[in-house]
Chains A and B, each alone.
Chain A
């Protein structure tokens, strides 16, 4: 019998820590999504085999952990206890890492991260600028835990909060603590979590449910995934505490099937938690019963909306329904239900364990704690970052994110997933919290952050995001289903140079209708990319419509590719790579693009040697000129 009570839990914790020599070398390999894509699985396998082969098992531990966040530099290997940080590790490096660093405690400079600004190599993980400014209270433990081993979690004070909640606190006290902490829902809405729990607790019903919303659907966002994959027990612990506070007997984790590793790890974690008596009947020997099931969603974006998520669990089509009644009144199968997002649940054990006072010191006046963002797009350090609320966009993008790729100019950042807004450069010094983002016309959302540079056309960006929400609209309500479609059509028209002056008014009108009249959050926020780009980048719209010009040189219909005669060396590279044979010209003679054939794929630009860089893109009047010239030459022939 593995079942524990508070006393046995502490004994177990002591046992685990005692059995682990603090000074023993441990090679931790990031097993997160990004590193998986880089092939970390194979690397981990080789490490394990090598250690075995070399019979180093009693000297060196191997641990495949959750995501470290710095996905740009994967696969990541950290040698503990020193915290030596190796990045972009390849199979060929493994032998050397074992012999030199793990055994010999010697650092291999080539594998260290090089600060692009200062040009120096950095040895320790915590000193890497990407991590330095972060406050990783939720995400930090990922790097030390093997998510498939409950003992790792217990060793890091895991389930201490449950023990405290169940035996030292009354449900009301827990709720009051969560209220005092100022925690707000991390799923996007930002509703005060404690308040939400309180409403649900006060409902008179013998059956109540809690749900963990892990239907993370924003393209490019994967923080919930990384938490579930990397530290599933923290979410389970949060849910146990929440269930106890609310009086729920059953919980669901709604996770999309496209997250197979998350499904696997969280399912295993639940089994383990049951084995140790953290779930099931009489949790830790108390009289509180609670269990969790994993529900695999089919991956519709709208399922992340709480009412459609519940419909989906009930076996119906994931259609949202009008609120009120809110889930606290009429949730799963009509019973009071409390739904929180993965990250919210992960915050709960911390608040209970360390107290609301500690927690509320982090963050701003109205937004407490930290927030995990997935920083992607035209940024040097792609990855997951956890920062205290109130950090400015500039700090996140430049200090942590390392600035814009290829030294380009920052143009906008889109926060909150596809239905968030695009914020321009003059908003960079805005502190990030729920309220400032809303005021700026965007949303916190689940924490997606897509950075865009001067090559991004904002009209096209708006079209792109709207097309996503349009395709993911559930089709139930008219404004979202049809309104977004009409908007996509107008935006497409504008990017194709067929826009008319009246289009901007129509767009605004549609955006207002969709925003005001849609049934659920998906529709209500879908116009945000359009509204914010209209607000901050109106000149780009006008330019597209009036001058048929795309200054970002991104909208295909509005640009031409042109080979500068004075630069072209006649190397034939572009000619060979053109998929439609639009380029003519002999060796060492100037090449010419036949504009009638060119499909503007950009292959020529890609292959033209940087030293030559003879290929340019032109738009607007310049484009017209080139076309005119081209036509004249053609007629002459």
Chain B
């Protein structure tokens, strides 16, 4: 296509708007409402241009270029019109500074004036220097405003966490409204009222917390003015440096930019060009990460227990102390606990250390509640092979999405964005879980299954498919007969009763999954107990075979896939963190080296406990030696995200205190003990060895992959099916008058090593607290409880405490609490059992 803009002939291939083409070619057209990735809005009217053959002035943001198109962007009438429009915008926005003749002088001499609350001009505005309105005024060259100013005088909204909303500065470009609705699928904010009173707000003016806001920060990032500003950096200068990195807080591995001003770390923004998160993030990466990595609770120096007190020590002392102690233990007397929140390099070195130095088989290699681990274990156990890696685009291209395991907005917000894209294209969403969730409003079918009965629901679906199609086409496949017999043995009526779902709903779902071209089963994390989780993973595989659906097993922690891949290459023997925890309880080990947070029991019988962590935690109380580890953002390791994408962290931050990367600590320790196999001086040295030794890491090299360069874990391409017969489940204990409620644990995601986000960050606690005991409003009325009341949950097996949180998503008769593997094992024992709730601490 050839397009003529202001007399310049421009060649272009792709479909794009006049505005996009002009920008690519450095032709300036002012615009305030247009934003990359959002549908054209055409509200600010600043980008009006003349197009030959089109009536009047047309907004260049919404007109696509055509071959032979002739565009004028700078005629005098356009420029006059633009000035007039901009002038109107400025009547609704404090404008004194924008058109002030002393502007430059002021910038120079009053650089730090803006520490006030009432913003009446740019010098007082937190957005000064990064405001798009300032740029537009400069470019358009407006010098005066002929009309009286209109100050909306709306009270600045500060009661919500993370960011403030000052709608006196809002120019109603609608970017926040659109990003919330169109990209995030939420519509927490919208336009309210009409005429001159039009404003952005929540329904009924409620707080964001009460409006279902997920605090992803997308609105803050698109706001062109100072209307939405992040509290933490509100009064800081605009960053003078940005560094690329990857968020370590969940398995998505979002590309982030760390912002610095004069080397002070200001916080993180999602990176626009990322193939993973394309400019989006979530509350963890956008707001929490800053406070996590620079927490007051970071361990800055090695500690050694002397006279029953942990005392600061040098690295020399601590390593000597630890290595001397370790040397005393025979193979298998010592256990090692690693975590999927370590980098690949760390995990590799830990495994090697356990194998070569400690010669112990007791290293945890399995995670609870992680769909990825569950499905891959089920495959391994049954000789099944199928692709388990994917790209997010594979999800956006689905025609039917079966989502098992609850609230994707919380567990994997970026995966949810891909689901939304599929829905936009007309895909059907079916949600299956025991709780309601905010994603349900998009579901064409909601299957509210009885907690714990997920595998039966999946079997129910399989049975419906088989009975519908006769099953002949599968007859020759491995394990089919036995599987079919196991289904035939269970009558529909029993399935209906045990899952709580009608056969009609299941049949319709089965129909959708089987008949759509591209159906996908997204398996999101949930906690329903080990056996039930395993049974669910197996049942899911069966369903995938029968419905020809693809499985998307999600992972939980930052480097879950990397951890899983490395562990498997070391030894087949699997142990989960809770098995190790239980063994500690039984006094099976004499010594423990942990790099994952653990609740160590009172009388553990351990002779030696080495804790390696970045944050102080309860496990330090028992530790004999504490080794301060860097957070991932301080290392140049690599992590593998939920897709299987290997990404480099590129250490944007300097290490805090004396903290060292985990791999380096282990390497030094190995050296002290006398091993010659750990000659690494950089993470790159480890990668070199990994690429050689681990087939799945064949594609990595000493230097880290750059952002945008796609490096994935190698995957076995073989497709081997086998049906697994349905395992009968134990019946759940029934509720009694004494224990009238059922506790269902929800997977907690808001932690990084020993740091609990809601404990670390007061604002996070308002948004989502680890201490919440969620229940239905009617139940709170029944038990005379109110929001925030301290309560104790008791079952026959034990008890724990928390605070009441009323949630519309929890059905009556159920209470939920968060569970984090390893550190909440006392809660795990109570899962799915009847409980009673009592007031008081």
A513 at the interface (CB under 8 A from B): yes
Interface pair B194/A479, CB less than 8 Å apart: no
Residue of A nearest to B61 (CB): A322
Within 8 A of A (CB), among B38-78: 40-46, 48, 56-57, 59, 62-63
Q: Are A473 and B45 in contact (CB under 8 A)?
A: no
Interface size on A, residues (CB 8 A): 31
Report yes or no: B40 in contact with A517, Cβ–Cβ below 8 A. Answer: no
- How far is the CB of A517 from the nearest CB of chain B, in Å? 5
A519 interface residue per 8 A CB criterion:
yes
* Contact call B146/A506, Cβ cutoff below 8 A: yes
Q: Is the CB of B81 within 8 A of A478?
A: no
Binds B, one of A100-108, A481-489, A568-576, A588-596: A481-489
Bound CA–CA A479/B174 (angstroms): 15
Interface residues of B in 161-216 (CB under 8 A from A): 172, 174, 190-191, 193-198
Interface string of A233-246 (1 = CB under 8 A from B): 00000000000000
Q: Does the CB pair A481–B57 fall under 8 Å?
A: no
Closest to B90 in A: A482
B360 within 8 A of A: no
Complex contact B81–A517 (CB within 8 A): yes
With a cutoff of 8 Å between Cβ atoms, the chain A residues found around residue B840 in the complex are none
Given A475-B191, A477-B42, A489 contacting B88 (CB threshold 8 A): no
A474 to chain B, nearest CB (A): 6
Residue of B nearest to A469 (CB): B195
In residues 467-523 of chain A, which contact B (Cβ within 8 Å)? 470-479, 481-483, 485-486, 489, 506, 509-510, 513, 516-519
Of A319, A322, A482, A513, which one neighbours B59 at CB under 8 angstroms? A322
The answer to the question of B719 belonging to the interface, with a C-beta cut-off of 8 Å to chain A, is no
B92 CB within 8 Å of chain A:
yes
A residues in contact with B150, CB < 8 Å: 485
CB of B518 to closest CB in A, whole Å:
20
In the complex, the answer to whether A478 meets B148 with C-beta atoms within 8 Å is: no
Least CB distance, B39 to chain A, in whole angstroms: 9
With a CB–CB cut-off of 8 A, which chain A residues contact B56?
516
**Is the CB–CB distance between B148 and A472 below 8 Å?**
no
Whether the pair A519, B194 counts as a contact (CB closer than 8 A) is: no
Q: Main secondary structure on chain A at its contact with chain B?
A: helix
A514 to B271 alpha-carbon distance, docked (Å): 38
Query: Which residue of chain B has the shortest Cβ distance to A300 in the bound complex?
Result: B194
A321-339 vs B, Cβ < 8 Å mask (1 yes, 0 no): 1101000000000000000
The answer to whether B195 touches A473, judged by C-beta atoms less than 8 angstroms apart, is: yes
Q: Are A481 and B198 in contact (CB under 8 A)?
A: yes
A482 to B196: give the CA distance in the assembly, Å: 7
Output the least CB separation between B95 and chain A (Å).
Answer: 13
The answer to whether A516 and B81 have CB atoms under 8 Å apart is: yes
Contacts of A470 in B (CB 8 A): 195-196
Tell me whether A317 is interfacial, beta carbon within 8 Å: yes
In the docked arrangement, what's the CA distance between A352 and B487, Å?
A: 63
Residues of B close to A474: CB separation below 8 A: 194, 198
B residues 200-253 touching A (CB-CB < 8 Å): none
Interface: B382 (CB within 8 A): no
What residue in chain A is nearest B48 (Cβ atoms)?
A517
Residue of B nearest to A510 (CB): B84
Chain A CB within 8 A of B116 CB: no
Whole-angstrom CA separation of A476 from B190 in the bound complex:
12
Bound state CA distance, A472 and B59, in angstroms?
23
Give the size category of B's interface with A: 20 to 34
CB distance from B765 to the nearest CB of A (A): 34
Q: Total contacts A to B, CB within 8 angstroms?
A: 93
The complex places the Cα of A516 from the Cα of B43 at a distance, in Å, of 14
**Which B residues touch A516, using CB under 8 A?**
56-57, 81
CB-defined contacts of A482 to chain B, threshold 8 Å? 88-89, 91-92, 196
Contacts of A472 in B (CB 8 A): 194-195
Q: B45 contacts which chain A residues (CB < 8 A)?
A: 477-479, 517-519
Residues of A within 8 A of B148 (CB): 489
**Which B residues are CB-close (under 8 A) to A471?**
194-196
Q: How far is the CA of A518 from the CA of B48 in the complex (A)?
A: 10
State the CA gap A509–B81 with chains docked (Å). 9
B762 within 8 A of A: no
The closest CB in chain B to the CB of A486 belongs to B147
Q: Which residues of B contact A478 (CB under 8 A)?
A: 43-46, 85, 88-89, 172
Question: Distance in Å from the Cβ of B195 to the closest Cβ of chain A?
Answer: 4
Contact of A483 (CB < 8 Å), options: B88, B190, B195, B197: B88
How far, in angstroms, from A506 to B91 measured CA to CA in the complex? Answer: 14
- Residues in B with CB closer than 8 Å to A519 are 42-43, 45, 59
A486 in contact with B91 given A517-B85, A518-B45 (CB within 8 Å): yes
Give A471 to B196 CA distance when docked, in angstroms.
7
**Interchain nearest-CB distance for B453 vs A (Å):** 35
* Residues A475 and B195 in contact in the complex (CB < 8 Å), given A517-B57, A519-B45: yes
Contacts of A285-317 to chain B: CB distance below 8 A: 300, 302, 317
User: Whole-angstrom distance between the alpha carbons of A300 and B195 in the complex?
Assistant: 11
> Smallest Cβ distance from B436 to chain A, in angstroms?
21
Contact across chains for A481 and B147 when beta carbons are under 8 A apart:
no
> Which chain A positions have C-beta within 8 A of B193?
475
Q: Kindly state the separation between the CA atoms of A155 and B622 in the bound complex, as whole angstroms.
A: 95
Given contact pairs A481-B172, A482-B89, A486-B88, A475 touches B194 in the complex (Cβ within 8 A): yes
Among A470, A510, A516, the one with the most B-chain Cβ atoms within 10 Å of its Cβ is A516
> Is the Cβ of B42 less than 8 Å from the Cβ of A322?
yes
User: Shortest beta-carbon distance, B169 to chain A, in Å?
Assistant: 15
Chain A residues within an 8 Å CB radius of B63: 324
How many angstroms between the C-alpha atoms of A302 and B198 in the bound complex?
14
Smallest Cβ-Cβ distance to A471: which chain B residue: B195
Whether B194 pairs with A473 at a CB distance below 8 angstroms is yes
| Contact bitstring B133-160, A, C-beta under 8 A = 1, else 0 | 0000000000000111010000000000
Chain B hits for A317, CB < 8 A:
190-191
Chain A residues with Cβ below 8 Å from B48 are 517
A477 contacts across to B, CB distance below 8 A: 42-45
The distance from the CB of A320 to the nearest CB of chain B, in whole angstroms, is 9
Most chain A beta-carbon neighbours within 10 Å: one of B43, B148, B194, B195:
B195
- Contact for B88 among A319, A322, A475, A513, CB less than 8 A: A513
- B196 lies within 8 A of A513 (CB): no
Judge whether A485 and B196 touch: CB under 8 Å.
yes
Chain B residue nearest to A485 (CB atoms) is B196
Chain A residues with Cβ below 8 Å from B191 are: 317, 319, 475-476
- Nearest to A487 among chain B residues (CB) is B147
For residue B81, which residues in chain A have a CB less than 8 angstroms away from its CB?
Answer: 513, 516-517
> Do residues A481 and B42 form an inter-chain contact, with CB atoms below 8 A?
no
Cβ–Cβ contact A476 & B174, under 8 A: yes
By beta carbon, the residue of chain B nearest A467 is B195
| Contact partners of B46 in chain A: CB under 8 A | 478
CA distance A510 to B197 in the complex (A): 19
Q: Please, how many angstroms separate the alpha-carbon atoms of A223 and B84 in the complex?
A: 38
Q: Closest chain B residue to A323 by CB distance?
A: B62
Q: Report chain A residues within 8 Å CB of B196.
A: 470-471, 473, 475, 481-482, 485
Q: Most chain-B Cβ atoms within 10 A of its Cβ — which of A322, A472, A519?
A: A322
Complex CA–CA separation, A324 to B66 (angstroms): 13
**Shortest CB–CB separation between residue B698 and chain A, in angstroms?**
45
A254 shortest CB reach to chain B, Å: 18
Partner-B contacts on A (CB < 8 A): 300, 302, 317, 319, 321-322, 324, 470-479, 481-483, 485-486, 489, 506, 509-510, 513, 516-519
Interchain residue pairs with CB less than 8 A apart (17) = A322-B40, A322-B42, A471-B194, A471-B196, A473-B194, A476-B41, A477-B42, A477-B45, A481-B196, A481-B198, A485-B195, A485-B196, A510-B84, A516-B57, A516-B81, A517-B48, A517-B84
A-B pairs with lowest CB-CB distance, top 6: A475-B198, A322-B42, A482-B88, A513-B84, A322-B62, A471-B195
Given contacts A471-B194, A517-B81, 19 further A-B contacts (CB under 8 A): A324-B63, A472-B194, A473-B194, A473-B195, A473-B198, A475-B191, A475-B193, A481-B198, A482-B89, A482-B92, A483-B88, A486-B91, A506-B146, A513-B88, A516-B81, A517-B45, A517-B48, A517-B84, A519-B43
